Structure 1
Amino acid sequence: MSDFILITGDKAMFNPTFGQAIVTVRPGDLIGIGKDKINQKLVCVDGDEKKVIVPGCTYMTPQYSIPGVGILSIQSLAGNQKAKKTKSGGKPVLLKGGSFTAKFQVMVPAQQPSVPSPIPDATPQYSGTGTFISMNIKIKGT
């Protein structure tokens, strides 16, 4: 199955639901290191998704209503987001595909209001999903 090849400047859009946590998400930017270009921008290859990091995102849960802060990243790609045949510089190119698995790493825990002091969220990270938005609407890879 062919799909659009991801390029530098494309966006990783995170869904705000990470299990119990609701995250105030922002898109992450992809930066390609492939050897080929589409629209004068380098294509993204296997491994480029690991450099997508979105710090400073707030979150809360039903139990912990005082917001905390964490970092969004891509944990793993779906099977249809890495080309089987199309390569750039010897590495598989990344494709728009379906949904990737995302990770929300807690840096400052959300807190539950409590007297005399709030109770911090003990969960170190949450899992979620996201998709890619590509500016390349012409060239596909397989």
Structure 2
Amino acid sequence: MTKKLILVDGDKAIFEFTFGAALVLPRPGKLEGSGPATLNGKKLCVEGDEGKVSVANCSYVIPGYSIPGKGTLKIAALGSDQKAKKTKTGNKAVLLKGTQFDATFEVQNPAKQPPKGPGPPIPDATLKYQGKGMFTTTNKIFKGT
């Protein structure tokens, strides 16, 4: 089993631009570690901490809808290599950098299509898009399995 870097408080969730048909202008999300163990004074991230990552007010467009909308990026599910099988703190698995997580983009203000004639713009009917992301960590030493 390959050891992977453990995520700590303040590490970032980096979201991709492409969420299905939607092109999102993402900003990084910040992890808040809640594990009792610490590394250099920062709490370790444990299972469940990923659910608190939320990046609001991200702009997006989709083909044919040139008036940008806004929404919130969230982590939907960790990748199979992002949750430790053995390494735990406070009876919870620590989070690992791993490869990619599943993400969702929840639309709050839909992108709009300019009207063909008089009338209001036509809003995007899709309320949720699926995408991916990855973690970056300031921890370069401490690994878990």
In the TM superposition, what is the alpha-carbon distance from 1:66 to its structure 2 partner? Answer: 0.5
**Unaligned stretches of 5+ residues in structure 1:** none
What number of residue pairs does the alignment pair up?
Answer: 142
The reply on whether 1:141 has 2:144 as its aligned counterpart is yes
- TM-score scaled by length of structure 1: 0.99
Identity across matched positions, percent: 54
| Corresponding residue for residue 80 of structure 2 | 79
Is 114-123 or 21-30 further displaced after alignment? 114-123
**Equivalent residues of 1:39, 1:136 under 8 A apart:** no
- TM-score scaled by length of structure 2: 0.97
| Corresponding residue for residue 130 of structure 1 | 133
Cα distance in 1 for partners of 2:3, 2:21 equals 35
Cα distance in 2 for partners of 1:37, 1:26 equals 26
Q: Secondary structure at the match of 1:50?
A: helix
AA aligned to 1:14 is: F
In the TM superposition, what is the alpha-carbon distance from 1:36 to its structure 2 partner? Answer: 0.3
What does 1:1-142 align with in structure 2 at a 5 Å threshold? 1-114=2-115, 115=117, 116-142=119-145
**Residues 110-141 of structure 1: CA deviation (Å, up to 9, x unaligned):** 00111322100000100000000000000000
Q: Cα RMSD over matched residues?
A: 0.6
Q: Secondary structure at the match of 2:67?
A: coil
AA aligned to 1:51 is: K
**Equivalent residues of 1:78, 1:98 under 8 A apart:** yes
Q: Secondary structure at the match of 1:75?
A: strand
AA aligned to 1:4 is: L
**Residues 15-45 of structure 1: CA deviation (Å, up to 9, x unaligned):** 0110100001000000010010012100000
